[in-house]
Structure formats: C-alpha cells, structure tokens
A = this chain, B = another copy of it.
C-alpha cells in the first residue's frame, strides 16, 4: 500500500500534470482543428481523472483516509481562518517562555460575532514546516492556547478550535518544560469555560496533542480527517514490531470520521467537496463555516450551563461499552 498521499495519488497527479500541459498548449494554439483536438483530449483526460477519483473515493479505507488527512495540499487552519472569519488578528505570546508557531491564536469575527480562534498550523514547504514544527506544539503552544481560552471567557467570546497535528512535540525540550502538564492544563482550562466551544478536526487528530485543544461542547470532524489515540505507524511498531504495517493498524484503530461518529465521540461530520477539501478549498471552507455557525446556534439555543454541558458530553465517552 502507498506510504504517502503523493504515492497513492501518483497516477492521478501525473494525469493532472498532463492536462495542465495540454491546457497551456491550448491557450497558445491558433489552428482551430488542432485546438479542437487538444480540447477533446483535455475533456477525455478530465473525464478519466474524474472516473479514477470516483473509483478511489468509492472505496476509501482507514489508511487512505489517513493519507488524505495528511495530504500536503489539504487546507490548514490559517486557510480556513482566512475563508471563514474576518478581522483575524494573530496573538503570539504565551507569557511564559516563548512563541510557538505550531499553534496559531487570535480573535476574529464570524458573521458579525467575535470568536476566539485557536488551531494547530502545518506548513506546506520545508521552511514553513520547520517554522511550524510540523504542527507539533510545545508546552508554550498549549499555554498560549490557555491564555486565549481565558481571554475568551473574560470577553464572553465563543471559542473555535481547529485540530490538525500529528502529535504534540515529544522532544527533550518539550519534556523539560512539561508538555504533559501543558496539554492537561489546556483541557482543564477548556472545561472551566462558560462560553460555547466548538472544535473541528480538519486533518490529523493526533492523540494528546489533538485532545489538548479539543475539549469542546461540540466536536466535529471533516469527512476526510482522522482522529486517533496513537499514529497507526506507532501502533504497528508496538503491535507487530513493524511500522510499515500502518495500514493494518489504521484499520484496527478505527480512526476515520465515520467510526468516531459511530462510537459517539464526535458530534457531526462536515462534508468535503468531491475528492476531498484541497480540490475545492473555498467550498470546503464554506461547509466548515456553515457547520461552525450551526453548532454555535445550537449551543446558543440550548441556553443551558455550557460548562455542565461540556462536562456531560465527555462524561458519557465510552459509557455504553462497559458493564458492571
């Protein structure tokens, strides 16, 4: 099985490359016959592409979902921030140790209403990835998030978090500054809030690093996001002493949005455009925006104590799988 999204999509990406080249020729073509030929070629290749895509997406397994969730053209938090909110202003300080670019935070406006945005941020090229530490937040990232949660409470702003991380940073430095405490304290701060909190897993929901900012009243997953207690490769390494058996582990872990919904651990799935979010980021963002607005409206209408609501939501996790 393919090890990466690029490998899995190889044929399709080549086909799209070809279509791109022909389209470039097409623009420069003056001979009407040649033009018609090329145009037909494009149409037929695009047809073929759609058929392949349809085929690929008709039988997506947990491993393919994993690859899609990690796909590098997939929209990241700041892409959604740009298309869902206005007036976003990034706030950088953790007031403790340092700036962490694996988590971005700040207030923004959602349809006239201020919200506090917190999300993991991946990078698209090597410089960005290094700058973002591959979206693996250090303690200061979670402590910055705590600052934002508390600020949101002070100013009675709903909180929206975007979850997209392979894991929290596991390095020596992170350990030395208490990455475990930072993750736990971040969840704790979320459970203290009386304002509405919505989280949406938009890519990789990677274990502790993910749940650290996902203790929300409503937790959504994008259709092709994954959410897991351990990366499939790590699980395979432990179970079968073979990280290459990621695909089997992905299946065993049931890390897809569909499974999470079935287990009652997420509250809804946000549809993606055909072929997954990156093929139409604007539509993807519109769907995300609608889902967030709908979720906030639902929480507004509950009129309940949102802190208790959040408590009860997580209190139930797994209840139906126990006996006594």
Contact = CB atoms under 8 A, between A and B. Distances in A.
Interface of A: 95-97, 143, 177-178, 181, 185
Contacts of A185: 95
A11 B23 CA distance: 99
Contacts of A143: 96
A298 to B, nearest CB: 33
A181 B185 CA distance: 20
A97 B95 contact: no
Contacts of A177: 96-97
Contacts of A95: 178, 181, 185
A95 B143 CA distance: 11
Contacts of A97: 96-97, 177-178
Given A96-B97, A96-B143, A97-B178, 8 more contacts: A95-B178, A95-B181, A95-B185, A96-B96, A96-B177, A96-B178, A97-B97, A97-B177
A171 to B, nearest CB: 16
A7 to B, nearest CB: 42
